Amino acid sequence: MLPESVMRRAREELLDWHGTGLSVMEMSHRSKAFASIAEKAEADLRELLSVPDHYHVLFLQGGASSQFAMVPLNLLGTRGSADYLCTGSWSKKAIAEAQRYCTVNVATTSEADHFTSIRDPGSWQLHADAAFVHYTPNETIHGVEFHRIPETGAVPLVGDFSSTLLSRPLDVSRHGLIYAGAQKNMGPAGLCVVIVRADLITAPRAGTPAMFTYKNHVEARSMYNTPPTYPWYVAGLVFEWLQEQGGLEAMAHRNRRRAEKLYAAIDADAFYHNPVRKESRSWMNVPFTLANSDLDERFIEQAAREGLHELKGHRSVGGMRASLYNGMPDAGVEALIDFMVDFSRRHG
Ligand code: PMP
User: Is 161 a pocket residue for ligand 1 (Cβ < 6 Å)?
Assistant: no
Q: Could you read off the pLDDT of 131-150 as tens digits, one per residue?
A: 999 999 999 999 999 999 99
Q: Does the structure show a pLDDT above 90 at 317?
A: no
Least Cα distance to 266 among 282, 294, 287 occurs for 287
Given ligand 1 and candidates 60, 70, 162, 310, which is best to mutate, with the most ligand atoms within 8 Å of its CB?
162
- pLDDT, residue 298, reads 97
* Average pLDDT over all residues of the chain: 97
pTM over 0.95: yes
Q: Could you read off the pLDDT of 238-254 as tens digits, one per residue?
A: 999 999 999 999 999 99
205-208 long-range contacts, Cβ below 8 Å, gap at least 24?
A: 205/72, 205/73, 205/74, 205/76, 205/101, 208/73, 208/74
Atom of ligand 1 nearest to the CA of 67: 16
List C-alpha distances in Å: 340 to 89, 205, 266, 283, 327: 27, 51, 9, 18, 21
Q: Could you read off the pLDDT of 95-117 as tens digits, one per residue?
A: 999 999 999 999 999 999 999 99
Q: Does the structure show a pLDDT above 90 at 10?
A: yes
Q: How far apart are CA 95 and CA 202, in angstroms?
A: 22
- Which residue numbers are catalytic? 90, 160, 184
User: Is 213 a pocket residue for ligand 1 (Cβ < 6 Å)?
Assistant: no
User: Is 88 a pocket residue for ligand 1 (Cβ < 6 Å)?
Assistant: no
User: Is 216 a pocket residue for ligand 1 (Cβ < 6 Å)?
Assistant: no
Q: Could you read off the pLDDT of 66-81 as tens digits, one per residue?
A: 999 999 999 999 999 9
Q: Whose CA is nearest to atom 3 of ligand 1?
A: 162
Beta-carbon contacts of 37 under 8 Å, excluding residues fewer than 6 positions away, are: 24, 229, 232, 233, 236
Q: Whose CA is nearest to atom 10 of ligand 1?
A: 64
- pLDDT, residue 127, reads 98
Least Cα distance to 275 among 259, 260, 261, 286 occurs for 286
